[in-house]
Amino acid sequence: MATNPFSKKPEDDRPKIWATGNQRPPFNLPAFGRASLFFAREGVAPLHAWVARTGRRVALNVRDGAGRIPEAKLGRVAPYVPSHLRVAMWIKNLAAVHAHASASADPDVRRGNALVAAIEPHLWEVDAAPVAPSPEPLSKPEPPAEPAPVVLAEPEVRPYDPLASIRADLRDPAPAAKTAAKPARVRPPAGPQVPPLPPGPIAGMAIQIIGYAIGWASAFVALPYGLIRSLWAHAKGQDLRKIGAED
């Protein structure tokens, strides 16, 4: 039986969005929360990445001597002030914390891992551990030579003089000169500064855990920003169920 192609289809066969005339997808609360968290993470990740890259550049400049205070200007506090090499290491570790924070907050896993790989390397090249020389074979000890005889001098007997101490004081009229003030202590010149070692396994794990906690904490703090963006996306007719579903 032939059908008229110009005939109107029943209203039940048309999609609901066409039948009602509303082009906005229905509001879904779980999708709204997921999209808000996604937008919040997407907003804080670039901030942590910027801090990490800036910290890495500052650490390299400090390592090369930028902002270094000469030891002569520090005076007596010089032994208590950390070297510029150690300060550069601290700044680099702080940058590594922010790199892990950005990687944990960034929805793009590859981008976060690439950032960590660019920030985390040590500021100095680590040389291989020196190989210990092989011990030489023990040789047979030679018998000790006979000791030479010791000849003691005869004690000199002097007559008793009760005024000997008085004569000694008269010969040396200024005994207090021997107890004069001690000369000022001269600090030996500082030796060559050795770069600090890279963080060990425990320190590296602490950097990762702290960065992970900071990344998620900052994402939850920025949740109002994500809520606003989700509401704006829903108002524009964007389906919130498709936002952050792959994350």
186 pLDDT tier (thresholds 50, 70, 90): low
Q: What is the pLDDT of residue 190?
A: 52
Calculated CA dihedral for residues 94, 98, 101, 106, nearest 10 degrees: -160
Q: Which residue reads 């590859």 in tokens?
A: 110
**Where is pLDDT greater, at 29 or 175?**
29
**Where is pLDDT greater, at 220 or 27?**
220
Q: What is the pLDDT of residue 13?
A: 52
Q: What is the pLDDT of residue 74?
A: 74
Name 91's Cβ contacts closer than 8 Å, sequence gap at least 6. Answer: 55, 58, 59, 62
213 pLDDT tier (thresholds 50, 70, 90): very high
Q: What is the pLDDT of residue 127?
A: 55
Q: In terms of Cα–Cα distance, which of 20, 247, 213, 227 is closest to 98?
A: 213
Q: What is the pLDDT of residue 239?
A: 77
Q: Which residue reads 């007596």 in tokens?
A: 76
Judge whether residue 125 has pLDDT over 80: no
70-121 pLDDT, tens per residue? 777 777 877 788 888 888 899 999 999 999 999 999 888 898 889 999 988 8
Judge whether residue 20 has pLDDT over 60: no
Q: How far, CA to CA in Å, does 154 sit from each of 45, 118, 147?
A: 92, 82, 21
CA 16 to chain centre: 56
DSSP letter (8 states) at residue 224: H
233-245 pLDDT, tens per residue? 888 877 777 777 6
Token reading at 223: 């949740």
For 79-93, 165-179, 180-194, 202-216, which range has the lowest pLDDT when averaged over its residues?
A: 180-194
Provide Rg for the chain, Cα atoms: 40
